[in-house]
């Protein structure tokens, strides 16, 4: 057999012999010609089988092929702009590896629950390929952004001794003789230790929230990237966030244009993601809600619908800063000009995709932080190490967390986060 090739590299094989290994995506016949569409994970290729050019065995093999059967095809590669994928193969040989038996996901329409139950197979479809390739590009560009700016990657533990983002969404587990452990809600506290050690770091890993609500924006397990920088204040934090968003959106537009097209994504709003991004205070955001006639009460946190209404005022992501401290986490520093406000920032994506980034300047005063721990009924003993960061050379510092799945959902223009991760975990879904 001729050398094995991946479909994405077919441009180098025009006019030459090649062998492609993959799975049958679709097939059809017309008279003495048979067409098969093969996918190999890197693309799709149309194979053409002409009766007089192949053995009877090969010609008949075509009839036994079912959707998702695995096979190898060999023949001469031709460029053909009309063919799916842009190339065609004059097939000389077909080798069946394994026939698939009644593949459940057919080209007809299926319900979302049916597909979610078969997520392990659904991943083979072109729409899922497009989404997960965009996800990959986002993760790649996140690392590229921080690595290129001298940030150290700091892996934070998954088992933790206490809550970071409120006690109502903690997943609890038994931990040998040491009592209870909790799955991390955020790597931030460890990122802060890293920032004091290395100046600028990013934590990037899975995080867990026992979200009891069933919404299109919440997963119980999601990926978050969390930069943390010593000596940065809230403004520096917002500067970093806007530069970061411009970088990742720019990379997806440049490197994943074909996938965005497959998803029929209107990229108008994505092209607007250029710094500076608008910055408004919480109070200004409340004013927008009031003008638009919602019943929002000042002092509350924004719900999903409020975020959508606010973001509709802007043609790019908007940064909302200085929230009422009482709706935010214990570690946030208060605004010296108004103690009721936290030096927090949320970035709301346009088109109703909601909060993609949550960040803040951190409380750096030992006594104040201790007071906050008590106010939030958090166990002082579990935070003793964290207080050390304020005992030994405390400095102003800030950071933020970007949710990968919300970001994928926004950039791909999806109406639910469930397709943005290979195997989503939600309140009612633990399988496959
Ligand atoms: O706003 P959050 O809760 O912030 C933190 O965890 C901070 N410790 C981050 C930091 O400052 N280092 O979460 C940050 C982001 C949200 O903006 C959202 O994009 C995502 O994480 N997120 C979720 N994504 C999917 N499902 C959930 N249940 C999510 N909860 C938060
Ligand atoms: Mg938040």
Query: What tens digit of pLDDT does each residue of 12-69 get?
Result: 999 999 999 999 999 999 989 999 999 999 999 999 999 999 999 999 999 999 999 9
| Ligand 1 contacts CB of residue 227 (under 6 A) | no
**Is 157 in contact with 189 (CB distance < 8 Å)?**
no
Predicted pLDDT of residue 192:
98
**Does residue 269 belong to any structural domain of this protein?**
yes
**Does residue 218 belong to any structural domain of this protein?**
yes
The Cα–Cα gap between 298 and 392 comes to 38
Single residue among 33, 63, 98 that ends a domain in this structure: 98
Question: Quick one: 132 and 259 in the same domain?
Answer: yes
Backbone angles phi, psi at 192, to 5 degrees: -65, -40
CA of 432 to the centre of ligand 2 (A): 28
Question: Quick one: 64 and 134 in the same domain?
Answer: no
| Ligand 1 contacts CB of residue 284 (under 6 A) | no
SS3 295: coil
End-to-end CA distance of the chain, in Å? 38
**Is 406 in contact with 215 (CB distance < 8 Å)?**
no
The Cα–Cα gap between 41 and 125 comes to 10
Question: Quick one: 144 and 202 in the same domain?
Answer: yes
Judge whether residue 2 has pLDDT over 90.
no
**Does residue 23 belong to any structural domain of this protein?**
yes
**Does residue 366 belong to any structural domain of this protein?**
yes
Which atom in ligand 1 lies closest to the alpha carbon of residue 209?
Answer: 28
| Ligand 1 contacts CB of residue 237 (under 6 A) | no
Question: Quick one: 166 and 61 in the same domain?
Answer: no
Question: Quick one: 128 and 89 in the same domain?
Answer: no
Which atom in ligand 1 lies closest to the alpha carbon of residue 355?
Answer: 17
| Ligand 1 contacts CB of residue 69 (under 6 A) | no
| Ligand 1 contacts CB of residue 302 (under 6 A) | no
Question: Over the chain, what is the mean pLDDT?
Answer: 96
CA of 432 to the centre of ligand 1 (A): 25
**Is 10 in contact with 45 (CB distance < 8 Å)?**
yes
Predicted pLDDT of residue 17:
94
**Is 189 in contact with 164 (CB distance < 8 Å)?**
yes
| Ligand 1 contacts CB of residue 333 (under 6 A) | no
When pLDDT is cut at 50, 70 and 90, the band that residue 85 belongs to is confident
Please write the tens of the pLDDT for every residue from 108-163. 899 999 999 999 999 999 999 999 999 999 999 999 999 999 999 999 999 999 98
Please write the tens of the pLDDT for every residue from 173-216. 999 999 999 999 999 999 999 999 999 999 999 999 998 888 99
Question: Quick one: 316 and 368 in the same domain?
Answer: yes
Single residue among 98, 131, 155 that ends a domain in this structure: 98
Judge whether residue 1 has pLDDT over 50.
no
SS3 29: strand
Atom 29 (ligand 1): residue with closest C-alpha?
218
**Does residue 16 belong to any structural domain of this protein?**
yes
**Does residue 235 belong to any structural domain of this protein?**
yes
CATH of the domain at 238: 3.30.930.10
| Ligand 1 contacts CB of residue 187 (under 6 A) | no
Question: Quick one: 83 and 160 in the same domain?
Answer: no
**Does residue 107 belong to any structural domain of this protein?**
no
Single residue among 98, 129, 153 that ends a domain in this structure: 98
Q: Model pTM?
A: 0.96
The DSSP call for residue 24 is: E
CA of 163 to the centre of ligand 1 (A): 14
Which atom in ligand 1 lies closest to the alpha carbon of residue 224?
Answer: 21
| Ligand 1 contacts CB of residue 211 (under 6 A) | yes
Which atom in ligand 1 lies closest to the alpha carbon of residue 211?
Answer: 28
Ligand 1 pocket test target in 135, 403, 404 with most atoms within 8 Å of CB: 403
Please write the tens of the pLDDT for every residue from 374-406. 999 999 999 999 999 999 999 999 999 999 999
Tally of structural domains, the chain = 2
The Cα–Cα gap between 140 and 388 comes to 34
Question: Quick one: 303 and 355 in the same domain?
Answer: yes
Ligand 1 pocket test target in 245, 398, 406 with most atoms within 8 Å of CB: 406
Predicted pLDDT of residue 108:
87
Share of the chain above pLDDT 70, in %: 99
Predicted pLDDT of residue 84:
86
| Ligand 1 contacts CB of residue 89 (under 6 A) | no
CA of 402 to the centre of ligand 1 (A): 6
| Ligand 1 contacts CB of residue 356 (under 6 A) | yes
| Ligand 1 contacts CB of residue 358 (under 6 A) | yes
**Is 332 in contact with 325 (CB distance < 8 Å)?**
yes
**Is 49 in contact with 58 (CB distance < 8 Å)?**
yes
Question: Quick one: 328 and 380 in the same domain?
Answer: yes
Ligand 1 pocket test target in 171, 186, 194, 213 with most atoms within 8 Å of CB: 186
Q: Which residues pair with 36 in a beta bridge?
A: 27, 47
Which ligand does the CA of 192 lie closest to? 1
CA of 241 to the centre of ligand 2 (A): 14
Predicted pLDDT of residue 3:
57
Which atom in ligand 1 lies closest to the alpha carbon of residue 400?
Answer: 11
Half-sphere exposure of 66 (CA within 13 A, CB side): 9
Q: In terms of residue numbers, what domain contains 146?
A: 119-419
Please write the tens of the pLDDT for every residue from 339-380. 999 999 999 999 999 999 999 999 999 999 999 999 999 999
**Is 210 in contact with 186 (CB distance < 8 Å)?**
no
Q: Which residues pair with 20 in a beta bridge?
A: 73
Please write the tens of the pLDDT for every residue from 250-288. 999 999 999 999 999 999 999 999 999 999 999 999 999
**Does residue 104 belong to any structural domain of this protein?**
no
Question: Quick one: 202 and 268 in the same domain?
Answer: yes
Question: Quick one: 79 and 217 in the same domain?
Answer: no
CA of 66 to the centre of ligand 2 (A): 48
Question: Quick one: 86 and 148 in the same domain?
Answer: no
CATH of the domain at 13: 2.40.50.140
Query: Which DSSP string corresponds to 336-404?
Result: TTEEEEEEEEEEEETTTTEEEEEEEEBP--HHHHHHHHHHTT--GGGGHHHHHHHHSS---EEEEEEEH
When pLDDT is cut at 50, 70 and 90, the band that residue 100 belongs to is very high
SS3 429: strand
Which atom in ligand 1 lies closest to the alpha carbon of residue 406?
Answer: 19
């Amino acid at each position: 057999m001729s050398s094995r090739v991946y479909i994405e590299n077919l441009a180098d094989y025009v006019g030459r012999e090649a062998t492609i290994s993959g799975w049958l995506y679709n097939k059809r016949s017309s008279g003495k010609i048979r067409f098969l569409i093969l996918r190999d994970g890197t693309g799709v290729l149309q194979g053409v089988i002409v009766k007089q050019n192949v053995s009877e065995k090969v010609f008949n093999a075509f009839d036994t092929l079912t959707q998702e059967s695995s096979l190898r095809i060999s023949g001469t590669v031709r460029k053909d702009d009309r063919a799916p994928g842009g190339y065609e193969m004059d097939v000389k040989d077909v080798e069946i590896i394994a026939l698939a038996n009644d593949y459940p996901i057919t080209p007809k329409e299926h319900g979302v629950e049916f597909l979610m139950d078969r997520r392990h197979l659904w991943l083979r479809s072109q729409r899922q390929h497009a989404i997960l390739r965009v996800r990959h590009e986002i993760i790649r560009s996140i690392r590229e952004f921080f690595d290129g700016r001298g940030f150290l990657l700091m892996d934070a533990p998954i088992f933790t001794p206490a809550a970071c983002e409120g006690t109502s969404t903690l997943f609890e587990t038994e931990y040998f003789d040491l009592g209870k452990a909790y799955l991390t809600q955020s790597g931030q506290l460890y990122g802060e230790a890293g920032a004091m050690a290395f100046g600028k770091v990013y934590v990037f890993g899975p995080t867990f929230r026992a979200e009891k609500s069933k919404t299109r924006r919440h997963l119980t397990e999601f990926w978050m990237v969390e930069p943390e920088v010593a000596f940065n204040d809230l403004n520096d934090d917002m500067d970093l966030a806007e530069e970061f968003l411009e970088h990742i959106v720019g990379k997806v537009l440049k490197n994943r244009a074909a996938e965005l097209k497959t998803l029929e994504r209107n990229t108008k709003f994505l092209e607007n993601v250029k710094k500076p991004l608008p910055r408004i205070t919480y109070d200004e955001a409340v004013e927008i809600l009031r003008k638009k006639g919602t019943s929002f009460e000042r002092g509350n946190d924004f719900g999903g619908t409020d975020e959508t209404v606010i973001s509709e005022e802007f043609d790019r992501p908007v940064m909302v800063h200085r929230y009422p401290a009482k709706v935010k986490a214990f570690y946030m520093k208060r605004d010296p000009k108004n103690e009721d406000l936290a030096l927090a920032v949320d970035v709301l994506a346009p088109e109703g995709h909601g909060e993609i980034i949550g960040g803040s300047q951190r409380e750096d005063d030992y006594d104040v932080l201790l007071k906050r721990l008590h106010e939030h009924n958090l166990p002082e003993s579990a935070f003793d190490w964290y207080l050390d960061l304020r005992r030994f050379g405390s400095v102003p510092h800030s950071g933020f967390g970007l949710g990968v799945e919300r970001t994928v959902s926004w950039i791909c223009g999806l109406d639910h986060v469930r397709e943005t991760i290979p195997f989503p975990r939600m309140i009612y879904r633990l399988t496959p």
